[in-house]
Amino acid sequence: METLPKSIGNLKSLKDLNLSINQLKTLPDSIGNLTLLKELDLQRNKFIKFPKSIIKLTKLKELNLSKNCLTSLPESIKNLIKLKELDLEGNKLTTLPEAIKILKERRVTIYLTEKDKESPEMYMDFTK
């Protein structure tokens, strides 16, 4: 699947959405209407830019964007105030926003490499 229909935003009771292993490059703005969503799996797609509509998902606890082509993250990622786990392994991130420090202060588990998943105590320290 290369595109997601705008009507996805009508599924307002949805709590878990798995869109992994597709060819998605963008998400429709209507995904931001899924305000009860707690888990979003977007691994193994073709995202180059972080989908801005995700920031509206303020109840999101788990976000998997692993194995995409992301090169950066927006500062607004800090607005995902319920986030507990963020998987970014296998992307092309060269820098991380200052907002990552805020996520770490909230004790969000952030995976940047496969090794992070094997050894949770080895997470990169972004607070320094």
Q: DSSP alpha helices (H): ranges in 1-128?
A: 99-105, 114-118
Give the count of beta carbons closer than 10 Å to the beta carbon of residue 87: 21
pLDDT of residue 117: 72
β-partners of residue 109 are 85
pLDDT of residue 55: 97
Domain boundaries, the chain: 6-58+67-122
pLDDT in tens, 9-55: 999 999 999 999 999 999 999 999 999 999 999 999 999 999 999 99
Percent of the chain clearing pLDDT 70 (strictly above): 91
Task: Give pTM, 2 decimals.
Answer: 0.90
Alpha-carbon distance 4 to 78, whole Å? 25
Q: Running DSSP on this structure, what letter comes out for residue 11? A: -
Looking at domain 6-58+67-122, its CATH class is alpha beta
Alpha-carbon distance 21 to 97, whole Å? 27
Residue 81 token pair: 């105030």
User: What band does 119 get if pLDDT is binned at 50, 70 and 90?
Assistant: low
Cα 99 to chain centroid distance, Å, stands at 14
Cα 9 to chain centroid distance, Å, stands at 18
Q: 127 or 88: whose pLDDT is higher? A: 88
